[in-house]
Amino acid sequence: MHAVRAEQRALPRVVTVTGTLAAEEQVVMGMKVSGRISELLVDLGSQVTKGQPIARLDPADFNLRLQQADAALQQARVRLGLPPNGDDDRVELTSTSVVRQARAVLDEARARRGRARQLFDEKLTPQSELDTAEANYLVAESRYQDALEEARNRQAQLAQRRSELELARQQLTDSVLNSPFDGAVRERQGSVGQYVAAGQPIVTVVRMHPLRLRVAVPEREAAAIRAGQDVRLTIEGDKNAYGGRVVRFSPAIEESSRTLMVEAEVPNPSGVLRPGSFARAEIVTTSDLPTIFVPVASIVTFAGMDRVFTVREGRAVEKRVRTGRRQSDQVEITEGVSIGDVVVVDPGNLIDGQRVQVLR
C-alpha cells in the first residue's frame, strides 16, 4: 500500500470570506438652482473626470438676473458719489453729497445763532429772533444726523447690491452641473427640456477607483483582523485574482450574526471591477505560517467527517482530521496529523487496526 509522510510548508494564514464590492463614493447629483435643462452631456456608463460639465440649464434667465443686479449696483455706487463701475466700495460718509449739504446748512444755522445771540446781548434784537435762530440750529443739527444715517443706509444698500451681484454670478455658475470626482455615470434621471427644481436628481455618479469591499468576518476569526492586512479576491465569472488591503473595521461584533464588518480598499484603475459584484476574498492574517499538507487522495470522507489512515508499527490507525486550503493535489491539515506521520494514499476499504505493508 502506497504511503507518504505529512510534510510541512510555509503558507500564509488566511480568513476566507465573501462580500460585495461597493463604490468608494456615490453621489446623486442635482442642480443648486432651478431651471430648464438645455444640455445633458452624459448617459448611462459615461466616464467622467473631476470638474467635467455634466448638464447645463438654460442660461437666459440667469444672465438677465446678472444684468439686473449689475445695474442696481451701479445705481447704488452713484448715490454714494462713486463711479458706476469699480470694485472698491469704500467711501467717507462725510464726503457724500447728502452729508455735505446738511453740514453746510448746519454751519450756516450755527453762524446765525451766534450772530443772533451777540445782537441780543447788545440789546439790538428781541428774544424772539434769538429763539428762532436757536430752533433753526437744532433743526439743522437733526437734519445733519439724518443725513449721516441716510449715507449709512446707502452704504449698506451698496453692500447689499454687491452681494446680490455675487449671488447672481454664483447662480449663473451653478446652472452648470460638474462632476465632483473621476468616475462613471450609474444612472441618468433627467432629460433635455425638463424643468428641474433645486436638488432634483439628474444623474448618479460613482467613483470606480478605488472600490470598497465589505465582508463579514466570523467572530472566531475577528481577533486576527488588523488594518493594513493584504486581501486577495476573485469575482464571479472572472478567473483573474485581484488584491487589496484592509482599511477599516467595525469596533463591535454584530450580535445577530456574530460577525465583524470589515472594509477593504481594492484598486481599480482600469475600471474592470464593478460596484455591486459578489466577491470571494482571503484576508491574509499571518504570513509564512508553518502548515501540514497531505495528498488529497489520502482523505476519506464519511458522514460529513474527514479521516486519514496513518501507519504505526505496521498497522493502520484511523484519525479524524480538519482540512483547510488546497494546493494542486495537496490539502492543508489544521488538526489531527503531525509532521512526519506516515499517511496512506488511496486507502480504499482499509479499516482501523488492519495490518498494512507500506510501499515507498
Dihedral, CA atoms, 156, 162, 168, 174, nearest 10 degrees? -110
Q: Exposed (0-12), middle (13-18) or buried (19+): which is 145, by Cβ within 10 Å?
A: exposed
Q: Which residues pair with 259 in a beta bridge?
A: 218, 254
- 285 and 231 Cβ atoms separated by less than 8 Å: no
Domain 26-57+177-206, architecture per CATH: Beta Barrel (2.40)
- 15 and 223 Cβ atoms separated by less than 8 Å: no
Specify the pLDDT at position 360. 61
Specify the pLDDT at position 153. 96
Specify the pLDDT at position 313. 87
Specify the pLDDT at position 51. 96
Give the position of cell 449715507.
151
Fold of 3-11+290-344: 2.40.420
Nearest Cα neighbor of 45 from 203, 189, 184, 210 is 184
What span, in angstroms and rounded, lies between the C-alpha atoms of 3 and 1? 7
What span, in angstroms and rounded, lies between the C-alpha atoms of 237 and 175? 43
What span, in angstroms and rounded, lies between the C-alpha atoms of 297 and 69? 85
- 316 and 1 Cβ atoms separated by less than 8 Å: no
Report, as ranges of residue numbers, the positions in the chain whose pLDDT lies below 70: 360
For the chain, what percent of residues have pLDDT higher than 90? 74
Q: Which residues pair with 214 in a beta bridge?
A: 20, 263
CA angle (306, 339, 295) in 5-degree steps? 45
Specify the pLDDT at position 123. 86
CATH 2.40.30.170 fits 12-22+208-288, yes or no: yes
